[in-house]
Amino acid sequence: MRAPQPYQMYPEQSEAPLSYEATPASTETTSAPEHYSVDTQAPKQPDYQSEAPQQSLEDATPEYDPTVVEYFTYINEVQHSLANIDALRRNMIEKDAA
């Protein structure tokens, strides 16, 4: 009695059409475009990643800021004048002392 059971299983396995039906009916293959559509979004990620090095590059190379350059030009000008005045004063005092 047990033998028929496997025999009966053959017909079940031979129901290939069912499996064929299942194959086209399965949404896995038909949903492949959706899967591809997800993959096609992948290029966006490299674009995003390609922006990262640009940001770090900008951070590494200071931008030319005319206001900052002008600021330190004034500071240098003042420092230069003060050093000159101090030198003139010292020279006069030393000359008088000599």
68 part of the interface to other proteins, by CB under 8 A: no
81 part of the interface to other proteins, by CB under 8 A: yes
Q: Which of 9, 22, 25, 85 binds other proteins (CB under 8 A)?
A: 85
Contact status, residue 66 vs residue 60, Cβ threshold 8 Å: no
Report the site for other proteins in 13-52 (rule: CB under 8 A). none
d(C-alpha 26, C-alpha 19), whole Å: 10
Instruction: List phi, psi (to 5°) of 33.
Output: -55, -35
DSSP reduced 3-state for 87: helix
Give me the residues that bind other proteins (CB under 8 A), please.
Answer: 71, 74-75, 77-79, 81-86, 88-89, 91-93, 96-97
